[in-house]
Structure 1
Amino acid sequence: MERLNESRIGAVVMEEFAARASTSTTSTLHAQHGVGILVGLDGDVVVTEPGGGRVRGRVVVVPPHLPHEVASPGPTVGLLYDPERAPHVAVYSRRQGGAFPLEDGLGARLGEAAAAHRASLSHPEVLSGLAREAAAWLGREAPRRGLDGRVARVLEALRDPAADRRLALARVGISEAHLQTLFVRDVGLPIRTYQLWRRLLVAVAASARLDATGAAHAAGFADLAHFSRTCRRMLGYSPTALRSGLLGE
């Protein structure tokens, strides 16, 4: 049987998604803005919510903003989708109101695709292809939902963490309070929190070439401590774990 290459753990960060393959996955309690899809290659993935609720399956879907922990003792593929770039994936993930195992034909197809490429999952192009394929499959199962145009314009402006939030808000022509309401309705979190999420993604991408302190500064975090707290709260890992354990240095 082909094995996941344990000498190099693969990961890729794109605008629409992030994907990683690891020999095991264990996270602390966190809530991410992205949609998580976790695939266990040799065994089940277990997602635990506060209070003891537990979901187990070979493929598990985690909707945005759900506090949870992940445990997968064997080789695991993790896909994380941007809800605004892949809204159909976000709609699909919310259909049961919480995390759920993907047990139908779609889950089997995704598991088989990951298993078929297990010997080359350290390659970014393989992970990207798998993430795009999964998104396309989910797109056939869920309707697409558009954002309010004013929210969409602010989102596009704020994808750059260095953008001036006040200028972005001023350009939509409505009160900040009204825009905040629309933003939370369509995106699921406040504008400031969204900016922090974007800054975190920039820092994670920078971790592939910089140490944790350098990545924090490159993304606009005040210091490493702030980056570390945000990392644990939104992704369930420390910056060190992301750099050495997930990005495959």
Structure 2
Amino acid sequence: MITDAFASRASTSTASTLHAQHGALLAVGLDSDVTVTGPGGARVRARVLVVPPDVAHAVACPGPSLGILYDPEVVPHVAAYARRRAGAFAVEGRLGARLGEALLAHRASLGRADVLDGLAREAAAWLAREAEARAPDGRVARVLEALRDPTADPRLAVPPRVSPAHLRALFARDVGLPIRTFRLWRRLLTALSALSALARVDATSAAHAAGFADLAHFSRTCRRMLGYSPTDLRSRLLRT
């Protein structure tokens, strides 16, 4: 399921390719550990893991797991918690146990959208208590709001007396990636939301509605940013 603040996916198993998504990932394994592998082969393995936004990695879990991807701008406290380290790390101690127990308690109903929504919001509240977030520059915030619409022209949100170069620098500083890449990320989420919300919408129609040139561009972007093709994301889902 995809909302404005997060996307969540309960899977029977997980095996993504190397990718970097603009989101803070919380991954929890039900019966086995989740393994995150970096570009150089370094691995982190634990029952509960967090991956910061815009960090290249691959995720694997042989059994059922839950992945929640939080929007760094909508849920900045979760992103701030994830960015405490340069790469993926295990969530241990009381917080890790609490997150794992919450998932296991709802194991029989992880295929329900309301359950996924509740778990994602509860986990965000727990993680938010562990970190403080810094609000983006107001000029950057205006562009971010404009880019919620993937078809919008971000130039219309540029404040007066701000050069394009200065705005690009501010955006990269506060968001962590270039404006063009962020716009592509928003298009990807829009297309995936259409696919998940209305099964009768085919991938090609979803791609065009979100502003992609064609289905191939949509599929390449999905693999690069999420580690799966659009079809892969629909497979291996836990259902009730």
TM-score range, shorter chain: over 0.9
Corresponding residue pairs, total: 236
The 1-side partners of 2:238 and 2:161 are apart by 41
Which residue among 88, 103, 106 is the counterpart of 1:114?
103
Give the 5 Å matches for 1:1-249.
Answer: 12-169=1-158, 171-208=159-196, 209=198, 210-246=201-237
Superposed CA deviations along residues 162-216 of structure 1, whole A, max 9, x for unmatched, are 10122122x3540010000000000000001000000000011111222211111
The 2-side partners of 1:167 and 1:87 are apart by 25
Q: Is the 8 A contact 1:204 1:242 kept in 2?
A: no
Q: Is the 8 A contact 1:63 1:94 kept in 2?
A: yes
- The amino acid that maps onto 1:234 is M
CA RMSD of aligned residues (A): 1.2
- Report the 3-state secondary structure (helix = DSSP H, G, I; strand = E; otherwise coil) of the residue aligned with 2:55: coil
Superposed CA deviations along residues 140-159 of structure 1, whole A, max 9, x for unmatched, are 11012111011001100111
Q: TM-score scaled to structure 1, two decimals?
A: 0.92
Superposed CA deviations along residues 73-119 of structure 1, whole A, max 9, x for unmatched, are 10100000000001111110011211001112101100000000000
In structure 1, the gaps of 5 or more residues are 1-11
Deviation at residue 219 of structure 1 after TM alignment = 0.9
Q: TM-score scaled to structure 2, two decimals?
A: 0.95
Q: Share of identical aligned residues, percent?
A: 70
Deviation at residue 217 of structure 1 after TM alignment = 1.1
Q: Is the 8 A contact 1:63 1:99 kept in 2?
A: yes
In structure 2, the gaps of 5 or more residues are none
1:3 is aligned to: none
- The amino acid that maps onto 1:77 is L
- Report the 3-state secondary structure (helix = DSSP H, G, I; strand = E; otherwise coil) of the residue aligned with 1:20: strand
Instruction: Note closer, same or farther for the CA distance 1:172–1:156 as it changes in structure 2 (3 Å cut).
Output: farther
Deviation at residue 247 of structure 1 after TM alignment = 9.3
The 1-side partners of 2:94 and 2:160 are apart by 43
- The amino acid that maps onto 1:180 is R
The 2-side partners of 1:246 and 1:192 are apart by 31
Instruction: Note closer, same or farther for the CA distance 1:148–1:106 as it changes in structure 2 (3 Å cut).
Output: same
The 2-side partners of 1:244 and 1:213 are apart by 18
- Report the 3-state secondary structure (helix = DSSP H, G, I; strand = E; otherwise coil) of the residue aligned with 2:26: strand
Q: Is the 8 A contact 2:30 2:65 kept in 1?
A: yes
